[in-house]
Amino acid sequence: MEAWRFFKKTLRLVVSGGPVYYGWCLFLICIVVVAFRYYLYQLDQGLIATHMRDQVSWGMYIANFTYLVGVAAAAVLLVIPAYVYHFRPIKEIVVLGELWAASSIIMALLFVFVDLGRPDRFWHLIPRFGWLNFPSSLLAWDVLVLNGYLLLNIIVPVYMLVKLYYGKEPNRRLVVPLILVSIPWAVGIHTVTAFLYNGLAARPFWNASILAPRFLASAFCSGPAMVIVMFQVVRRISYIKIEDSALFKIAELIAYAMFLNLFLLAAEAFKEYYSDTIHLASLQYLYWGLNGHRVLVPWIWTALGFNVSAFLLFLIPRTRKWLPTLNLGCLFIITGVWLEKGPGFVLPGFVPSPLGEIYDYVPSQLELFVSFGVWALGLLAFTLFMKVAIPIERGEFTHTGRGRPSTAYAIPDSEAQ
Amino acid sequence: MAEKHLTRREFLRTLVLAGASGAAFSLASCTKDERERFFQKHFLEMTDAEKRQMIGRLEETYLKKYGRPFTISTEGAVPRTLWGYGLDLSRCIGCRRCVYGCVKENNLSRHNPQVHWIRVLRLRKGNLVNLEEAEHYYDPPYVPEDGYFYMPVQCQHCENPPCVKVCPVHATWKEPDGLVVVDYNWCIGCRYCIAACPYRGRTFNWAEPKVGQDEWNTSVHYLGNRPRPKNVVDKCTFCVQRVRIGRYPACVEACPTGTRKFGNLLDPDSEIRYLIDHKRVFRLKEDLNTDPKFYYFFAE
Amino acid sequence: MEADTKPRELSEHTNVKLLHAAEALPWCLACHDAKDRDKFHLVTGELVGFTETYRLCGQCHGTNYRDWKAGVHGKRIGYFANGPRTYFLCVNCHNPHDPKFKPLKPEPPPFRPLDKENG
């Protein structure tokens, strides 16, 4: 009964908001509805409604999946400074970061779901009910670690928020180990995702040891950049205190991650171009075109330009500590890493095909709309999470109904930076 | 009134109740047949009785759906057999009769999508294993063309198959007679196996397969050439419906130049053992350690 | 019968052009028996019928004959076990008078990924 009352209260919270909130939610819901109709068409016609074919059998959906797993792993970047280095300004927003990680994982799992040929058979993946090919298949590993990560990033914030709602202190002995375990787990989800590509000897573009480190480096760029943007939105609309210094610290860490990402790219390029075997073909296709097939070339160079620009913007303290350039850098990184890690990673793996064929995959309209729909659903989920989480954090939404600023996260002014 | 707090137990109870009622509702709204089809077990986990029941249901379904009576075999592996294939590159003229013979025998979709288990490559003379220069879509008035030779490629039935390693649900596995097969009713269509195969051995049914009503071959095997549902993976099975009763695969019979050879690798008197002993055989991409059972050779 | 080794035009079987290894097989009677038209003669003089022509071919094409006997040259269809097997004889594929294979018209190439017949 108490659960129902709590749920009713959160429902009431979620449906009451200003015009901007309604406008944003309605906008997202429209996209979801349109996308769902496209998805139904895909279910009816089969995956032939996409532009994926035998030659390039993974496309826009899996590209987005790869990117979003990286974004979800970025929660780690917030957690480490807060809990390992006791950097106070970040501590208060950890819960919001974890809810963003949960939303990202939801989107990633949805992208896999819409990519499946037989989603009605997804229960075959459940251990004991189906037959999960663990530990042989890396996809089986991914199913387990991604769902575990989702559980972790739902349970911990929900627990903290519910405790806050009742005005109680969270049991640190329960929560801190879970938060600390999410650090290696976040590294784990992205390593497993990298390994699922890495282990395929049939695809020389992916069969490189550099994959897992590169994935982690680019994940630590894109995820936190989204978080920086998101928290500026959050603090504007909800007056929750998020210090500028927190944002600048995150940006500094992104700069180091982007340096690593660019260095690893250079290492890959050296190996392929200097050794000059036939396996150079995939990288060649991506950056310069192969036999006149140049469909990815402008995109990848845009990505490189964005990444390098963002790196410089975050490295130089002047531009890092000025919000307009900081945000420009974030935009560059979010787009640049998406291009490089999504289509710029998945598609060249299939070109040339194992028998030397080149097929220029370009997503179909259906795939684009379904992808927008999944993103919209994730953003909607995050918006709803925030609609409940922020009032709880600010102490406005409590069990007693009396507005009282919560003490759990308050930082005494003398300590605040 | 004492303040009641939302306990962990209550929260979990609500969750479980909601989930269970949702599942029960959707289950109750299905027919028995739909329920059986949805919950069908993995082929390897079925008892003989369950297999018989499942085959009966499938034959009924096919009759209704395709208007032809099918006989579905579940013939198991013949003891002490390990099937191997030989392909004589000195004789292939690139006529593609094997491709279309396979299409007919194995009920492959003719269009939307067009599924070909065999792909014939045209390679320039002087260049054998660099497949980057392979031409798939050659269409001259006559074959063979001067200066080229032809190499058909299909599932190589590896002894160390990467596709089996990566399938997340065990929908594909290696049978005791060495054939790598797919349970089309278990495959979830994730296409990880297609990414893992170095030989373009596996194809995907991107839509409902299109076969004319009088084009169906109705003697089928559950793991082989039975009509496939849409959105699942399939592949050459060395004609499992034929070889397990001792018949040559369809591609072997279709070839007009005697390029294709088939036999039991464990039988020292078989054709395949003869050619491994007497001809210089090689396998594609041997450095990948997949250990294929598809041997290419040059008889002369 | 004395062999008349002068090259000349045939008055019978004018549709047959002998284009098979001109040095080794200069004329019809190199394979066909002069007296019994239903038989061929081996180099030893032994006569063989139409069902054993592979022995005739095997005299010159020894390696192919050996491979054919093992099943590696030529074609076999039907059952390799538990049933009848059909062996193709040499002449089922090779025209002994003009053995060079004529080029065949190939079956159509596969559809490309986005052809309308392929979705």
CATH number (domain holding residue A259): 1.20.1630.10
List CB contacts (< 8 A) between A154 and chain B. Answer: none
Answer yes or no: is pLDDT of C6 > 80.
Answer: no
Chain B: closest CA distance from residue C99 (Å): 13
Residue pointed to by tokens 């076990």? C81
Residue among B160, B191, B234 with most chain A CBs within 10 A, to mutate: B191
Helix or strand run (H / E) with residue A189: helix A172-198
Does residue A399 lie in a domain region? Answer: no
Mean pLDDT, chain C, whole residue set: 88
Q: Which of A119, A131, A202 sits opposite B169 (nearest CB)?
A: A131
Does residue B1 lie in a domain region? Answer: no
Rounded Cα–Cα distance for residues A136 and A142 (Å): 12
The pLDDT value recorded for residue B1 is 36
DSSP assignments along B198-213, one per residue: TT--EEE--SS----G
Which residue range forms the structural domain that includes residue B289?
83-297
Alpha helices in chain B (DSSP H): 8-28, 32-38, 48-66, 97-105, 162-166, 192-196, 240-243, 250-254, 271-278
- Predicted confidence band of residue A413 (pLDDT cuts 50, 70, 90): very low
Answer yes or no: is pLDDT of A416 > 50.
Answer: no
Question: Span A338-357, mean pLDDT?
Answer: 96
Question: Span A291-306, mean pLDDT?
Answer: 96
List CB contacts (< 8 A) between A47 and chain B. Answer: 189, 204, 206-207, 231
Does residue B122 lie in a domain region? Answer: yes
A53 touches chain C (CB under 8 A): yes
- Predicted confidence band of residue A409 (pLDDT cuts 50, 70, 90): very low
**Least confident range of B115-119, B216-220, B242-246, C91-95:** C91-95
Which residue range forms the structural domain that includes residue A109?
9-393
The pLDDT value recorded for residue B99 is 98
Rounded to a whole number of angstroms, the distance between the first and last alpha carbons of chain C is 72
Residues A352/B132, Cβ–Cβ less than 8 Å? yes
Total count of domains within chain A = 1
Are the beta carbons of B205 and A203 separated by less than 8 Å? Answer: no
What are residue B220's DSSP bridge partners?
A: B72
B positions 63-102 inside 8 Å of A (CB): none
Does residue B199 lie in a domain region? Answer: yes
Nearest CA in chain C to B117: C110
Are the beta carbons of B10 and A201 separated by less than 8 Å? Answer: no
Which DSSP category does B77 fall into?
P
Total count of domains within chain B = 1
List CB contacts (< 8 A) between A121 and chain B. Answer: 169, 186-189
The pLDDT value recorded for residue B129 is 78
A256 touches chain C (CB under 8 A): no
Does residue B144 lie in a domain region? Answer: yes
Alpha helices in A316-364 (DSSP H): 317-320, 323-341, 343-349
Chain B: closest CA distance from residue C115 (Å): 9
- Neighbours of A, requiring at least 3 CB pairs below 8 Å, are B, C
Classify B107 in phi/psi space as left (phi over 0), alpha (psi -120 to 50) or beta. Answer: left
A49 touches chain C (CB under 8 A): yes
Are the beta carbons of B190 and A116 separated by less than 8 Å? Answer: yes
List CB contacts (< 8 A) between B245 and chain C. Answer: 79, 82-83
Does residue B153 lie in a domain region? Answer: yes
Helix or strand run (H / E) with residue A15: helix A2-15
- Neighbours of C, requiring at least 3 CB pairs below 8 Å, are A, B
The pLDDT value recorded for residue B78 is 96
Question: Span C48-67, mean pLDDT?
Answer: 93
Chain B: closest CA distance from residue C18 (Å): 22
Answer yes or no: is pLDDT of C3 > 50.
Answer: yes
pLDDT in tens, B87-125: 999 999 999 999 999 999 999 999 999 999 999 999 999
Q: What are the distances in angstroms from CA A64 to CA A196, A353, B194?
A: 15, 21, 19
- Predicted confidence band of residue A415 (pLDDT cuts 50, 70, 90): very low
Answer yes or no: is pLDDT of C119 > 80.
Answer: no
- Which tokens hold the place of A272? 């392929």
How many CB pairs below 8 Å do chains A and B form together? 158
**Least confident range of A49-58, A245-254, A407-416, C38-47:** A407-416
Are the beta carbons of B253 and C77 separated by less than 8 Å? Answer: yes
DSSP assignments along chain C, one per residue: -----S----SS-TT----S-TTT--SGGGTB-SS-TT-EE-TTS-EE-GGGHHHHHHHH-HHHHHHHHHTSSS-EEEBSSSS-EEEPPHHHHS-TTS-SPPPBPPPPPPPPTTSGGG-
pLDDT in tens, A352-370: 999 999 999 999 999 999 9
The pLDDT value recorded for residue A406 is 45
Which three-class secondary structure state does DSSP give residue B132? helix
Residue pointed to by tokens 């130049």? B257
A54 touches chain C (CB under 8 A): yes
The pLDDT value recorded for residue A366 is 97
Answer yes or no: is pLDDT of A155 > 80.
Answer: yes
Does residue A407 lie in a domain region? Answer: no
Nearest CA in chain B to A141: B168
C positions 18-57 inside 8 Å of B (CB): none
Nearest CA in chain B to C74: B258
Question: Span B253-273, mean pLDDT?
Answer: 96
Are the beta carbons of A132 and B7 separated by less than 8 Å? Answer: no
Q: Which of B112, B113, B263 sits opposite C80 (nearest CB)?
A: B263
How many CB pairs below 8 Å do chains A and C form together? 12
Rounded Cα–Cα distance for residues B150 and B170 (Å): 34
Are the beta carbons of C119 and A48 separated by less than 8 Å? Answer: yes
Residues A410/A135, Cβ–Cβ less than 8 Å? no
Rounded Cα–Cα distance for residues B257 and B270 (Å): 20
Does residue B13 lie in a domain region? Answer: no
The CATH number of whichever domain residue B89 belongs to comes to: 3.30.70.20
Answer yes or no: is pLDDT of A402 > 60.
Answer: no
Are the beta carbons of C118 and A53 separated by less than 8 Å? Answer: yes
What are C's interface residues with A at a Cβ cutoff of 8 A? 113-114, 118-119
Are the beta carbons of B112 and C117 separated by less than 8 Å? Answer: yes
Question: Span A315-342, mean pLDDT?
Answer: 95
Rounded Cα–Cα distance for residues A365 and A383 (Å): 27
A positions 91-130 inside 8 Å of C (CB): none
Question: Span A49-61, mean pLDDT?
Answer: 97
Are the beta carbons of B275 and C72 separated by less than 8 Å? Answer: yes
**Least confident range of A253-262, A397-406, B57-66:** A397-406
The vertex-B120 CA angle with B115 and B122, nearest 5°, equals 145
Residue pointed to by tokens 């500028």? A244
List CB contacts (< 8 A) between B42 and chain A. Answer: 124, 131
More confident residue, C89 or B10: C89
ipTM of the complex: 0.91
pLDDT in tens, A173-218: 888 888 888 889 999 999 999 999 999 999 999 999 999 999 999 9
Answer yes or no: is pLDDT of B262 > 50.
Answer: yes
Rounded to a whole number of angstroms, the distance between the first and last alpha carbons of chain A is 43
Instruction: Provide the whole-model pTM.
Output: 0.92
Half-sphere exposure of B210 (CA within 13 A, CB side): 13
Does residue B17 lie in a domain region? Answer: no
**Least confident range of A233-242, A307-316, C51-60:** A233-242
C71 touches chain B (CB under 8 A): yes
Packed helices A244-275 and A323-341: angle between N→C axes, nearest 10 degrees: 40
Residue pointed to by tokens 């919001």? A96
Are the beta carbons of C113 and A54 separated by less than 8 Å? Answer: yes
Question: Span C36-40, mean pLDDT?
Answer: 91
**What per-residue string of b and e applies to B35-53 under the rule 16 or more CB within 10 Å gives b?**
eebeebbbbeebeeeeeee
Answer yes or no: is pLDDT of B16 > 80.
Answer: no
**Least confident range of A81-95, A276-290, A328-342, C42-56:** A81-95
Longest CA–CA separation in chain C, Å: 72
Q: Which of C74, C103, C110 sits opposite B114 (nearest CB)?
A: C110
Question: Span A228-257, mean pLDDT?
Answer: 85
Q: Which of B97, B119, B144 sits opposite C107 (nearest CB)?
A: B97
Q: Which of C72, C103, C112 sits opposite B261 (nearest CB)?
A: C72
Give percent above pLDDT 90 in chain B: 83
Half-sphere exposure of A200 (CA within 13 A, CB side): 28
- Predicted confidence band of residue B12 (pLDDT cuts 50, 70, 90): low
List CB contacts (< 8 A) between B93 and chain C. Answer: 101, 103-104
Chain A: closest CA distance from residue C119 (Å): 6
More confident residue, B106 or B34: B106
Are the beta carbons of C114 and A54 separated by less than 8 Å? Answer: no
Are the beta carbons of A117 and B165 separated by less than 8 Å? Answer: no
How many helices (H) and strands (E) would you count in chain A?
A: 16, 0
**Least confident range of A386-395, B109-118, B241-250:** A386-395
More confident residue, A3 or A256: A256
B17 touches chain A (CB under 8 A): no
